[in-house]
Amino acid sequence: MTEIEIRVQRFDAPESQALIKAALADLGERYGGSGDDTPVDAAEFEPPAGAFLVAYLGGQPVGCGGWRSHGDDGEAAELKRMYTAPAARGRGVARAVLAAVERSAREQGRNRIILECGDKQPEAIAMYTSAGYERIPNFGFYQDAPGCLSFGRTL
């Protein structure tokens, strides 16, 4: 099995954007529309306020995820744009990205990580709950949308 390599990338880098575009297309197929209309600015993913990570298998970008600061106290990070390309699923890419995102947020002083997810993403929900995430009150752009599920975990 090829080793997964995780690299910090700019959110607006071409490889990041290609994966984000695929992630939004996947969400669009599940939910309709653009997939996710949450306002996102590439600058939010610049250290120390955030980070964006890309996973590679055999030198090819196959997954991504990032975090941005959440709230005014500097203690929480919000997980955004988690995605694994279909051909790389089932190989541990998402778990490797999630662990790297958590580590990055912790290294920048965050002690909690939160995320929004939809009820039409059973594989994501299963991964998050198996990684220790628990349901929290909904927050963010989709907090009042039907099917919105929010999760959080102490880092």
- What per-residue confidence (pLDDT) applies to 72? 87
pLDDT at 2 over 90: no
pLDDT at 1 over 60: no
Contact 86, 119 (CB under 8 A): no
Please report which confidence band the pLDDT of residue 15 belongs to, taking 50, 70 and 90 as the band edges.
very high
Q: Reduce the DSSP state of residue 89 to 3 states and report it.
A: coil
Residue pLDDT, tens place only, 30-56: 999 888 899 999 999 999 999 999 999
Burial grade of 79 (CB within 10 A; 0-12, 13-18, 19 or more):
buried
Please report which confidence band the pLDDT of residue 12 belongs to, taking 50, 70 and 90 as the band edges.
very high
Phi, psi dihedral angles at 130 (to 5 degrees): -70, -20
Question: What DSSP designation does 35 have?
Answer: S
- What per-residue confidence (pLDDT) applies to 42? 97
* Model-wide pTM > 0.85: yes
* Residue 147 neighbours by CB under 8 Å, 6+ apart: 31, 118, 119, 120
pLDDT at 129 over 80: yes
Q: Reduce the DSSP state of residue 93 to 3 states and report it.
A: helix
Residue pLDDT, tens place only, 65-86: 999 999 988 899 999 999 999 9
Please report, rounded to a whole number, the percentage of residues in the chain having pLDDT higher than 70. Answer: 99
* Two structure tokens written together for 133: 């995430």
Residue 140 carries which side chain, given as an amino acid letter? Answer: G
Residue pLDDT, tens place only, 19-31: 999 999 999 999 9
CA dist., res. 146 & res. 52, Å (int)? 28
